[in-house]
Amino acid sequence: MLEISKKAEESHLSPIRKFYPYAEAATKKGVKIYAMNIGQPDIPTDNSYFNAVKGIEFKTDAYAPSLGRPELLKAMEGYYNRMNLDVKASDIVVTTGGSEAILMAAYAILNSGDRVIIPEPFYPNYHTIIKSVGGEVTPLRTFPKDNYTYATEKQLESAMRKNTKAILITNPNNPTGTILNDNDMCTVINFALKNNLYIICDEVYREICFTDDKITSILKYKNARENVIVIDSVSKRFSCCGARIGALISKNEKIIESATKFAQARLSVSTINQIGAAALYNSTSADYFRGIRNEYKKRVEVVVRELNKIKGVHVSPPKGAFYIMATLPIKDVEDFQKFMLTDFEDNKETMMFSPAENFYASKGKGKNEIRLAAVLNEKDLIRAVELLAKGLSVYKDTM
């Protein structure tokens, strides 16, 4: 009998996407769905991207260089240099979205059985990627009552295990919105240096910070340059998820050399989308980032306000990114999400969220938590939370 790998068996479907079959069926029945399950911004992609793509006059859409097209590498270098960060094109490997950058980082540093510390809840694909290369996740427990903070020496040390090779952090965090300020980052760096760990820092939400603590990049800490691998992407920063353009950045030459091998093995990233992405990096100003930050801050505040009106719902207001974690007064949010798509509608409308269980590695956690993405306009966000409240009322009556 043919068997699939244990790696595949131990991996999970994405909680962000696994309910699409139910959503499709609901849509076919004429039900409108307010999608707050996926971080797909509705903010328009800047026209510079489309103009650059329209201006292409190639006769053949050929392979790009494995590490990235020169104009995109130069544009990314300029973006980091404008933040006073000493990043050169030779420190960058262009990837198919941030997800491939995480995969390359994992391949570059992990042997079978090596462990990666990740504060939980975390982006579920981290777990799938690390397992796929033979690694193991050590969850660093955080709690809503503490606003999901984890940057203390005591908490970090509690997660150390034999064969721990790295710590993976997201700043700002998806899904909690937690941010690491300068003191927090220094704590994490000192912990990594003390224990000879790599730090994989996912910075795709870098500009979306709602506090006075200015986030720049972990790359500014020169004492940790050999330890640091940064993950970046145009998806959220430029509202350009479909381009699938990301990057792995490191000052560690061995990391770049290793990533180069994997980049050559997969040949190259989309030529056309790299040209569009270069235009985004070259044309986007600080005013643009200020605008999206203010817009997401307003949206997040609307969602938190509306959630706080629902009896039994607990919310931890995020400090960055555009996600909101909420605890619901029910036992099984996956069953509730299925109910919302198959058995509930209000004036032919319903909504979607992401059940949080697979945002955790600790067994039994997240069964009553959800993640909401504030990627709709204000009116639609209010309606979506209203539908959540109405659905909860009906669902509780059926329990």
Distance from C-alpha of 38 to C-alpha of 32, rounded to nearest angstrom? 16
Note the pLDDT of residue 399. Answer: 63
Our measurement of the distance from residue 381's CA atom to the centroid of its chain's CA atoms, rounded to an integer in Å, reads: 20
CA proximity to 249, closest of 259, 236, 263 = 259
Q: For 180-206, b where at least 16 C-beta lie within 10 A, e where not — what string?
A: bbeebbebbbebbeeeebbbbbbbbbb
Q: For 288-306, b where at least 16 C-beta lie within 10 A, e where not — what string?
A: bbeebbebbbebbbbbbeb
Angle at 342 between CA 336 and CA 343, to 5 degrees: 75
Q: C-alpha distances in angstroms, 137 versus 75, 145, 372, 396? A: 34, 23, 24, 35
Segment (H or E) for 389: helix 378-398
Residues 6 or more apart whose CB falls under 8 angstroms from that of 4 comprise none
Q: How many residues does the chain have?
A: 399
Question: What single-letter DSSP state applies at residue 34?
Answer: E
Note the pLDDT of residue 17. Answer: 78
Note the pLDDT of residue 386. Answer: 98
Main-chain dihedrals φ then ψ at residue 94, nearest 5 degrees: -75, 135
Distance from C-alpha of 38 to C-alpha of 216, rounded to nearest angstrom? 25
Question: What single-letter DSSP state applies at residue 347?
Answer: S
Distance from C-alpha of 358 to C-alpha of 364, rounded to nearest angstrom? 10
Give the strand pairing for 369-373 and 323-327: antiparallel
Distance from C-alpha of 80 to C-alpha of 371, rounded to nearest angstrom? 31
Note the pLDDT of residue 89. Answer: 98
Beta-bridged to residue 327, according to DSSP, are 314, 369
> Which domains occur in the chain, in start order?
6-44+287-398 (3.90.1150.10), 47-284 (3.40.640.10)
Spell out the per-residue pLDDT of the chain, length 399, in tens.
Answer: 898 888 888 787 776 678 999 999 999 999 999 999 999 999 999 999 999 999 999 999 999 999 999 999 999 999 999 999 999 999 999 999 999 999 999 999 999 999 999 999 999 999 999 999 999 999 999 998 888 999 999 999 999 999 999 999 999 999 999 999 999 999 999 999 999 999 999 999 999 999 887 788 999 999 999 999 999 999 999 999 999 999 999 999 999 999 999 999 999 999 999 999 999 999 988 899 999 999 999 999 999 999 999 999 999 999 999 999 999 999 999 999 999 999 999 999 999 999 999 999 999 999 999 999 999 999 999 999 999 999 999 997 766
**Residue 170 in tokens:** 């997201």
pTM strictly above 0.85: yes
Residues 6 or more apart whose CB falls under 8 angstroms from that of 368 comprise 327, 328, 329, 330, 331, 332, 333
